[in-house]
Amino acid sequence: MTTTDYATYIAGLPRVLAAAASLFLDVRGRILLVEPNYREGWALPGGTVESDTGESPRQAARRETAEEIGLDLEPGRLLAVDWARGPARPPMAAYLYDGGVLSTEQFESIRLQEEELLSWKLVDRADLGGYLLGPLGRRVFSALEVRDSGAGTAELEDGEPAAW
């Protein structure tokens, strides 16, 4: 295969999106959620991996956290990876990292990215279902289980444990 043939082959491969987010808690175990202005429901701080720049999911989680809430924090361990299919977009590999427990001072220093976010709040685990829709909610619950148990990373498909 020539270099041109290989480049043509690569250009024809299906495209997959990648996204990364961080799961932040307070000392009472409440989860930090953000309210996007461009879609329904709440989310975690995070967003799309900029693969054209060579950014990794871990780097994206850090960059998105800094952009969205003004906190430049290194993500902790990977809690979950979700193969998320969407009706209006290509499949997406969604990476969810442990952001850790934030201090009162860190919460007080949150500054929202006004171009994308309306607000933020801390939500009790029992109330998450009313804020996080569909696979995102299931992804976060799986990540919380992994975080609580100290188990390895959750492998998910559309928020559900992958069958293997």
The predicted model scores a pTM of: 0.91
For 98, the domain range is 15-161
Residue 8 lies in a domain: no
pLDDT tens per residue across span 100-113: 999 999 999 999 99
Domain count of the fold of the chain: 1
Q: Inform me whether the pLDDT recorded for 14 exceeds 90.
A: no
Residue 136 lies in a domain: yes
Burial of residue 137 (number of CB atoms within 10 Å: 0-12, 13-18, 19+): middle
Six token digits for residue 73: 């924090």
Residue 94 lies in a domain: yes
Residue 6 lies in a domain: no
Task: Region of 65 please: left (phi>0), alpha (psi -120 to 50) or beta.
Answer: alpha
Per-position b or e across 21-52, b if 16+ CB within 10 A of its CB? bbbbbeeeebbbbbbbeeeeebbbbbbebeee
CA distance 65 to 26: 16
pLDDT of residue 66: 98
Report the CATH number at residue 82.
3.90.79.10
pLDDT tens per residue across span 34-86: 999 998 899 999 999 998 899 999 999 999 999 999 999 999 999 999 999 87
What is residue 91's three-state secondary structure? strand
Residue 113 lies in a domain: yes
CA distance 158 to 164: 15
pLDDT, averaged across the chain: 93
CA distance 20 to 92: 10
- Which of 86-95, 110-119, 127-136 is predicted with the least confidence, judged by mean pLDDT? 86-95
Residue 149 lies in a domain: yes
pLDDT of residue 164: 67
Q: 39 phi and psi, to 5 degrees?
A: -160, 165
Residue 5 lies in a domain: no
Residue 39 lies in a domain: yes
